[in-house]
Structure 1
Amino acid sequence: MSTGVGQKQDRLHYWDFSRALYLVLGIPFHAAVIYSLTHEWSVSSPDKSQVLTWLADFLHTFRMPGFFILAGMFSIMLLERQGARAWLASRLVRLGLPLLCATLLILPFQIVVQSVALTLTGALPVPELQAHIVAQLTHFGEPWISHLWFLWALIAYCVALAGLHGLIGGARLRQRVNGLVGWVGDNRILSLSAFAAICQLAAQAQTAITTASPYYGNAVINYNLYAPYFGFGVVLFYSRTVHDLLLRPGVATLAAGVGLVTFSQISYAGLFTHTLAVMAGIFGALMIVGFISGLARRHFSHPDGRIRRLVDASFTIYLFHHPVIYVLATVFLLINLPPVVEFAIIAPAAGVIAYGIHLLFMRSRIAMLMFNGVMPKPVRTVPAAASGGSPVGLIR
């Protein structure tokens, strides 16, 4: 891929690793949220854990921001290479087909498992189980979105980016992005003040929307929350300055990022504290993402067959780890073990099973198209002398 001013460079493999990592981190996140004190998940254990609550909240603060930053960067990279119309058409297949297949085949299964879990916890009387399942299957609601929300959001962001690119033009968009980056660098105090004002408006809007409609308001916020990170990914592709700045953080910056995202999770009272929490969450997420990206650049900058396999499997793993965790969490409703012990079993088991599903799907071109959006291609072998490692192929 290319970065900065768009000069052609060798493929930056560490971005592939980082993108796959954020998807795979969905496994410990969803396994931990089962026992969360602050989130009532679809299949929740009556036994809660403060440690796992913190882990789920912590992962949530940077995992999806990191994913959408890289999604924005890869999107504009491919858009510039292919053109807006061709790129958007490929995105609708790459993202839309797995979304459709997972909606029709995975989500109904999850609805059934979730309903059974409700009977095990006593929240749903057994005689009402069948009627409840039918009602859930025939009425649109959150269970029909579930963990696929990121695909809906990503498709919407891609459509908006293609429209913007087509309207303004790639050269002018690049010029405006770099002009904005230059202005921010020359006016740091004013930029910080403007950022604080935007965060204050966002905090006010969040309060107003959730007050007007707690259920749908939170949904609207959550599904649009990552658009700024997607946009930041576009900036990251165009600007070498921002690219190098993001990858600069060391251990001290990581510690500061962890502190900021921890602060962003505290209960806030009043607009001022809410605004500070929003700002802390954004800055903290960028610091953690930057540290991870820099670490990946130091260790995963060269072709590696193991990383290639992780990248290829990450999308399928994300789609299928979720129903697997549903089943495992439901089973553990019948077993009385400490939450941390159950988590230590569920998380790795879900990862192994989801990866096994990917290996099974690799035997079928149709299955890979349905749930990965691509037809498997023969691996293009790179000589060891050229790659310095295992034979790998290039992913798209």
Structure 2
Amino acid sequence: MINAFREKQAVRSAKDRVFFLDSTRSVLMMMVVIVHSGAVFDVEGYWLVTADNPRVWITTLIEFIALFDVEGFFVVSGIFTVMTARRHGTEALAERRLKRLVVPLVTTAIVLNVPFSLFMRQQGLCDEPVISLTYLTGGWVLHLWFLVNLVFYTMIMRASLPVLLPLAEKLEPWLRLTQMKTPKGTRLIILLSAVSLAQLALVGISHFTPVMYAELFFGSSPYSFLHHFMFFLLGVTLGSFPSLWKSFTRASAPLYATAIVLVCLDVVITAPFYLDILVENLMVVFVTFSLIQCLFAMFNKFLDRPSPVWQHLSGASYSIYLLHHPLVVLLAFVIFRTSWPAEVEFAFVLGGAFTISWLVHVLLISRSPLLSFLFNGKSMKRGDGSKTVAGTQDKPA
């Protein structure tokens, strides 16, 4: 009786964990819609289209979200990769996860990105020929770059997880023992220090090797590829060690205090250029890590049980992300013909991009087995727009 109860509790705990991770992934993906919508009103005017009435508060908002949303997404991706490997075996990574990545990548590139690029050329906002070596090697990627990265990360894990997972099982008892003998929050600080040192090493190498910042393949630079791979590996580590995962999903006052101190030091201290760059990057990594950890701790507390609303948003978030990018630009062209306040225009672009993408998912993608496969990379029972044959853990993350 006791064993049956424990087994039932373990199954429930695993389902709750999947729901929590899936909800976190969905929120992070949909936050990118806020970032792209706000980029239209960025004071630096760096995006594809820029309004003539930028706002500092919108710029501050999107810069804050940009500190943690993409990096947090890759952390979730790493965790899901380990969960898939443990549930279905490392051999299934190529079949299950790559299908969820490559099929929507190719479909969205052909159906949306190429026509969108033609439209941008017609509007005089892009002078790059569609049929060109540059375009064929990455010009079509645009907002799909994270899928390209995940394809490469998944292939790397397919080769390395058969070695890493057995090693993690051997090290897990030692980690549990150290947790009992060290002050609370120590392991998070150590883990953060490792991430910070890796980031500083990457910045140092890139500083002396400018080619690291060049977009060499599929719209991504070696620096960007390695930077996000670092957070993906953080997710793999959390997924491989249950005791680390438990610590990561609990609020950590020492971690947040350290991040705040570093922010204050970065503001107050004046140092030589090279030292200032190192301190700034160290601060950014600490803040990014702390925000991701705080988000995980908060969501683990408040989103630890399935709910119909979050399950629906989770199912729609992939489609919303894939579809929103060209919609933001098209809606921006609409507001350029108005004289509305910037706040109203921002709400119009954000609400319009989100709503239209969601409606396309609800009315078309979720109801068609073919569209569900093409845009979400999952098989669907005909006549059932909410359940998948693949299962809950086969997420695009």
Residue in 1 that maps onto 2:232 = 230
Whether 2:305 is the aligned partner of 1:310: answer: no
Residue 16 of structure 2 corresponds to residue 16 of structure 1: no
Q: Deviations over 1:279-333 (max 9, x none)?
A: 2222212222222222222222112111111111111110001111121122223
Question: Structure 2: how far apart are the matches of 1:259 and 1:39?
Answer: 31
CA RMSD, 1 decimal = 3.6
Letter matched to residue 344 of structure 1: A
Deviates more, 1:355-364 or 1:140-149: 140-149
* Distance in 2 separating the partners of 1:278 and 1:183: 29
1:326 matched residue in structure 2: 329
Question: Equivalents in 2 of 1:284, 1:292: separation in Å?
Answer: 12
Gap regions ≥5 residues in structure 1:
1-6, 125-131, 382-392
Residue in structure 2 matched with residue 388 of structure 1 by the alignment = none
Instruction: State TM-score, norm by structure 1.
Output: 0.80
* Amino acid in structure 2 at the alignment position of 1:163: A
Amino acid at match of 1:208: F
TM-score calculated relative to the size of structure 2: 0.80
CA shift at 1:47, angstroms? 3.5
Contact 1:113–1:327 (CA under 8 A) maintained in structure 2: no
Q: Is 1:297 matched up with 2:293?
A: no
Counterpart residue number, 1:357: 360
**Deviation of the 1:143 alpha carbon:** 3.7
Cα distance 1:210–1:329, how it changes in 2: closer, same or farther (>3 A)?
farther
1:368 to 372, 389, 394: 372
Q: Distance in 2 between matches of 1:41 and 1:177?
A: 45
Cα deviation, 1:23-44, whole Å, max 9, x if unaligned, reads 1111101011122234611223
CA distance in 2 between partners of 1:306 and 1:364 (Å): 21
| CA drift at 1:229 | 0.9
- Report how far residue 272 of structure 1 moved: 1.7
CA contact (8 A) 1:37 1:50 kept: yes
Contact 2:39 2:47 in 1 (8 A): yes
Cα shift readout 1:203-232 (whole Å, capped 9, x = no counterpart): 222323436765559722223321111111
Identity %: 21
In structure 2, which of residues 117, 131, 134 is the aligned counterpart of residue 140 of structure 1?
134
* Preserved contact between residue 30 and residue 317 of structure 2 (Cα < 8 Å): yes
Q: Is the 8 A contact 1:329 1:346 kept in 2?
A: yes
- Equivalent position to 1:172, from 164, 167, 171: 167
Q: How does 1:159-238 map to 2 (within 5 A)?
A: 159-166=155-162, 168=163, 170-175=165-170, 197-210=197-210, 216=216, 219-238=221-240
Distance 1:265 1:67 in 2: 28
> Which residue among 35, 42, 55 is the counterpart of 1:36?
42
Q: Is the 8 A contact 1:19 1:70 kept in 2?
A: yes
Is residue 281 from structure 1 mapped to residue 284 from structure 2 by the alignment? yes
Say whether the 8 Å CA contact 1:43–1:117 is kept in structure 2: no
Residue among 95, 107, 114 paired with 1:108:
114
> Quick one: distance in 2 between partners of 1:294 and 1:346?
31
Aligned to 1:91: 97
CA deviation after TM superposition for structure 1 residue 196, in Å: 5.5
Rounded to whole Å, the distance in 1 between the matches of 2:271 and 2:146 is: 27
> For the Cα contact (< 8 Å) 1:268–1:277, is it kept in 2?
no
- Cα deviation, 1:330-375, whole Å, max 9, x if unaligned, reads 2223334343331121111111111001012112110010000002
What secondary structure is seen at the aligned counterpart in 2 of 1:94? helix
The 8 Å contact of residues 361 and 368 in structure 1, kept in 2 or not, is answered as yes
Deviations 1:120-149 (A, max 9, x none): xxxx8xxxxxxx47x135443454110000
- Distance, in Å, in 2 between the alignment partners of 1:372 and 1:380 is 12
Distance 1:192 1:300 in 2: 25
Task: Say whether residues 1:337 and 2:333 are aligned partners.
Answer: no
Partner residue in 2 for 1:390: none
CA contact (8 A) 1:58 1:262 kept: no
Aligned residues: 366
Contact 1:88 1:158 in 2 (8 A): yes
Contact 2:366–2:386 at 8 Å: present in 1 too? no
Aligned partner of 1:272 in structure 2 is 275
**Corresponding position of 1:129:** none
Describe the shift of the 1:324–1:46 C-alpha distance in structure 2 as closer, same or farther (beyond 3 A).
same
Say if 1:257 and 1:288, in contact at 8 Å, map to a contact too. no
Amino acid across the alignment from 2:54: K
